[in-house]
Amino acid sequence: MEVEILTCWTGLIVAILGALAGLAEIISRYKDAPLSAVLTLSGMTYLLINGLSAVIALYLVEINAWQFGVDQNSGHAKTLATQVIVAGLGSIIIFRSSLFNVQVGDKTVGIGPSAILQVILFTLDRDLDRTRAQHRADTVKEIMTDIDFSEAIIELPPFCFALMQNVTEEEQADFKRGQELLLKNTKLSNQVRLLNLGLMLLEIVGEAVLRKAVITLDEVIHK
């Protein structure tokens, strides 16, 4: 009875760890509104599949009695803890790696668990991206209405970054490169460049900060 209870708890913990790993992936991809992305059907399914993958990984660990370098004399608790952590957080590596690769024409095709899992996760991720894209388009159009691009491209970014306290130098450098491309790309209309500017800022500072910054700079950047 104790073994069954322990197995249930370890399975639950591993599933949570696997889901947390999937959560970290979603947060890293959809920085403008990570919570909204997670709460979509695709986001929840993404977490569920990652959690299930972790449970399957734990099953493989147990039936193969993998110790992961832990001394058998260290005790069952230490071994079990190591197996749970590796299965929970390492399932991403286990199920997204290929057992071997096959060359098909000019492409390398991976053979293994990743062949199925990668397709499922990619499909969910793409569906989630489409859902978020619709919201981003509506949000940026609303926030950036009646704004002068030539003023906004200069005034808005530094103010947004000054409002934030954790924008990294790398993020600012990447934005600077995108900003320079927008300034150079005169083939695009100012309206399209303005919307792209809004999308770039939205990804870094989020909707609430961008909206507040535009309102605050109303007299400076509006037409």
Question: pLDDT digit of tens for each residue in the chain (223 aa)?
Answer: 434 444 677 888 888 888 888 888 888 878 777 888 888 888 888 888 888 888 888 887 777 766 666 656 555 667 777 777 777 776 666 655 554 454 545 655 455 555 666 677 778 778 888 888 888 999 999 999 999 999 999 999 999 999 998 899 999 999 999 999 999 988 999 999 999 999 999 999 999 999 999 999 988 898 7
Whether residues 176 and 114 fall in one domain: no
Q: What is the pLDDT of residue 153?
A: 94
Q: Residue 54's CB: how many other CB atoms inside 10 A? A: 31
Whether residues 111 and 156 fall in one domain: no
Whether residues 149 and 122 fall in one domain: no
Whether residues 95 and 24 fall in one domain: yes
Contacts of 194 (CB under 8 A, 6+ apart): 144, 147, 149, 152
Whether residues 117 and 150 fall in one domain: no
Q: What is the pLDDT of residue 93?
A: 62
Whether residues 8 and 118 fall in one domain: yes
In a domain, 131, yes or no: no
Do residues 167 and 204 touch, judged by C-beta distance below 8 A?
Answer: yes
Q: What is the extent of the structural domain holding 32? A: 2-126
In a domain, 64, yes or no: yes
Q: What is the pLDDT of residue 186?
A: 87
Whether residues 59 and 103 fall in one domain: yes
Q: What is the pLDDT of residue 150?
A: 92
Q: What is the pLDDT of residue 142?
A: 94
Whether residues 164 and 198 fall in one domain: yes
Q: What is the pLDDT of residue 138?
A: 93
Q: What is the pLDDT of residue 190?
A: 92
Q: What is the pLDDT of residue 62?
A: 76
Whether residues 62 and 171 fall in one domain: no
Buried b (16+ CB within 10 A) or exposed e, 91-130: bbebbeeeeeeeeeeeeeeeebbbeebeeebeebbebbee
Of 126, 156, 188, the position where a domain reaches its end is 126
In a domain, 193, yes or no: yes
Whether residues 163 and 111 fall in one domain: no
In a domain, 212, yes or no: yes
Q: What is the pLDDT of residue 182?
A: 93
Burial status of residue 4 (CB atoms within 10 A of its CB: 0-12, 13-18, 19 or more): exposed
| Amino acid identity, position 44 | M
Whether residues 47 and 97 fall in one domain: yes
Q: How many domains does the chain have?
A: 2
Whether residues 7 and 99 fall in one domain: yes
